[in-house]
Chains A and B, each alone.
Chain A
Amino acid sequence: MTGHDPVDTLLTRAFAADAAAGPPDRFAERVMARIRRRRRLRVVVLSAALGIGIAVTAAASASAIVEFGRWLGTLRLDGAVLDVAAALPAASASTWPAAFPAAAALLLGLLGWFVCLDEESGAL
């Protein structure tokens, strides 16, 4: 697309003159500042996800421990070994629904954190 076509010459000259205007002052600095801000924001968001995951897991674990203790207490007080079959599903039913999402949240949080760390160190 070079050659001696006058329109070619005109376009090449006009685009070159237009590009000569250049970006405003400190354009590169502003871009880099936005990149650093975006990076920091990602760390904050992922840290928050990890924090929430840990908090939910801790709460669910506490609840599960309490439930388990209650179940053990029922066994000891009643002394009814035959009740184990009935009590075990009941304990599981109250513990697992809370434990699953909590564990998933924790895993996602940890995964996010590692992805974030990897990106920060340039591993990705």
Chain B
Amino acid sequence: MALQRPADLSGAADEVLALQAATLSDDAAYETLVRRHARRTLSMLRRFTRDPALAEELCQETFLRAWQKLPSFQGQGSFGGWLAAVAYNVFLQHRRRHAARDRVTDSLDGPDAGAGLADRQSSNGADTGAAELDRLLAVVSEDERVVLTLSYGAGLSATEIGAMLGVAPGTVKSQIHRAKDKIRRAFDIEAET
């Protein structure tokens, strides 16, 4: 993995940029990584938190934490997968800190609450993509939402998700399957033939 000159950064692989940022304290390399992964990371955290402002705050924290932990990124696996794990840990830490408040929030959750959020966003003309996703994820459990987000949102494999959550890949696959079944039933979607 040859290190890149600043002019080449936009085309450099994530792993090269991460190595460059870690070994040379290259801010430009890290900024390129932030630009490249901010969209997906923020989307993922929006799904976890269901609070856009909090998601943005945690997204910043994720990139800050990732910068501190960069030397531990050995280039095994994708940078995106590693960053998703950092983001998930930041989210978990936040949730633990605010456990009491989250319990209250969770009690308000459920299909109706999620649908309400989606309806509000739609009626306000807000992002319809977010609204549709809110509607879909409102019918699955918290664990299933996390797994679906890591799978479809972050593009991680069942093995990567399993390693991150400390469960077997088979468990991840069955959680995804169960979640998809719930969505299928809730929205009356015909199963594949």
What is the interface of chain A, defined by CB distance below 8 A to chain B? 1, 3-8, 10-12, 14-24, 27-32, 34-36, 38, 119-122, 124
Contact = CB atoms under 8 A, between A and B. Distances in A.
B56 A23 contact: yes
Interface residues of B, number: 44
Contacts of B128: 17
B129 A7 contact: no
Contacts of B64: 31, 34-35, 38
Contacts of A20: 39, 129
Contacts of A121: 25
A27 B133 CA distance: 23
Given A4-B192, A30-B60, A120 B25 contact: yes
B129 A17 contact: yes
B22 A122 contact: yes
Q: Is the interface of A mostly helix, strand, loop or mixed?
A: helix
B185 to A, nearest CB: 10
A56 B153 CA distance: 54
A10 B183 contact: yes
B44 to A, nearest CB: 8
Contacts of A22: 38-39, 42
Contact of A14 (B71, B136, B190): B136
B24 A122 contact: yes
Nearest to A16: B129
B71 A124 contact: yes
Nearest to A11: B152
B176 to A, nearest CB: 7
Most buried by B among A28, A30, A38: A28
Interface string B16-34: 0000001111110011001
B180 A5 contact: yes
Interface of B: 22-27, 30-31, 34-35, 38-40, 42-43, 46-47, 56, 59-60, 63-64, 67, 71, 127-130, 132-133, 136, 148-149, 151-153, 176, 180, 183-184, 189-192
Contacts of A120: 25
A18 to B, nearest CB: 5
Contacts of A124: 71
Contact of B63 (A7, A21, A31): A31
B24 A18 contact: no
Contacts of B130: 17-18, 21
Nearest to A35: B67
Given A6-B192, A7-B189, A12 B42 contact: no
Contacts of B39: 19-23
A18 B129 contact: yes
Pairs of residues from A and B, 4 with the lowest C-beta to C-beta distance, nearest first: A17-B129, A122-B25, A19-B43, A14-B133
